[in-house]
Amino acid sequence: MTHAPKPLIARRSGALSGHIRVPGDKSISHRALMLGGVAVGETEIHGLLEGEDVLATAAAMRALGAEIERGADGVWHVWGVGVGGLTEPAQVLDMGNSGTSTRLLAGLLATHPLTAFLTGDGSLVRRPMARVTEPLSRMGASFVARRGERLPLAVIGTDRPVPITYEVPVASAQVKSAVLLAGLNTPGRTTVIERSPTRDYTETMLRHFGAEVRVERADGGGHAISLTGQPELTGRTVQVPGDISSAAFAIVAALIRPDSDLVVERVGMNPRRTGLIDTLIEMGGSIEILNPREEAGEPVADLRVRGSALKGIDVPPERAPSMIDEYPVLAVAAACAEGTTRMLGVGELRVKESDRLAMMADGLAACGARVEAGEETLTVHGTGRPPAGGATVATALDNRIAMSFLVLGLATDAPVAVDDARPIETSFPDFAGLMNGIGARIEDATDTDGAGA
Phi, psi of 279, deg, nearest 5: -65, -45
Do residue 253 and residue 229 come from a single domain? no
Do residue 276 and residue 337 come from a single domain? yes
Count: domains in the chain? 2
Q: Is residue 1 part of a domain?
A: no
Q: Are 120 and 98 in contact (CB under 8 A)?
A: yes
Burial class of residue 289 (count of CB atoms within 10 Å of its CB; 0-12, 13-18, 19+):
middle
Tens digit of each residue's pLDDT (9 = 90 or more) over 245-279: 999 999 999 999 999 999 999 999 999 899 999 99
**What's the domain range around 315?**
8-24+241-447
Do residue 412 and residue 292 come from a single domain? yes
Distance CA 139, CA 189 (A): 12
Q: Which of 210, 239, 268 is the last residue of a domain?
A: 239
Do residue 258 and residue 381 come from a single domain? yes
Do residue 212 and residue 261 come from a single domain? no
Q: Is residue 233 part of a domain?
A: yes
Q: Which of 239, 255, 278 is the last residue of a domain?
A: 239
Which active-site residues does the annotation give? 325
Q: Is residue 2 part of a domain?
A: no
Residues 6 or more apart in contact with residue 154 via CB below 8 angstroms: 115, 116, 117, 118, 143, 144, 145
Q: Is residue 3 part of a domain?
A: no
Q: Is residue 406 part of a domain?
A: yes
Q: Is residue 453 part of a domain?
A: no
Do residue 206 and residue 318 come from a single domain? no
Do residue 221 and residue 293 come from a single domain? no
CA angle, residues 90, 157, 198, in degrees to nearest 5: 110
Q: Which of 105, 104, 100 is nearest to 127 (CA)?
A: 100
Do residue 332 and residue 279 come from a single domain? yes
Do residue 76 and residue 124 come from a single domain? yes
Query: What count of Cα atoms within 13 Å lies in the side-chain half-sphere of residue 232?
Result: 2
Do residue 232 and residue 308 come from a single domain? no
Q: Which of 239, 254, 271 is the last residue of a domain?
A: 239
Do residue 156 and residue 270 come from a single domain? no
Low-confidence ranges of the chain (pLDDT < 50): 448-453
Q: Is 24 helix (H, G, I), strand (E, B) or coil?
A: strand
CATH number for the domain spanning 123: value is 3.65.10.10
Q: Is residue 156 part of a domain?
A: yes
Q: Is residue 436 part of a domain?
A: yes
Distance CA 321, CA 272 (A): 8
The pTM for the full model equals: 0.85
CA separation, residue 386 to residues 94, 254, 322, 382 (Å): 40, 13, 26, 8
Do residue 281 and residue 341 come from a single domain? yes
Q: Provide the 8-state DSSP code for 325.
A: G
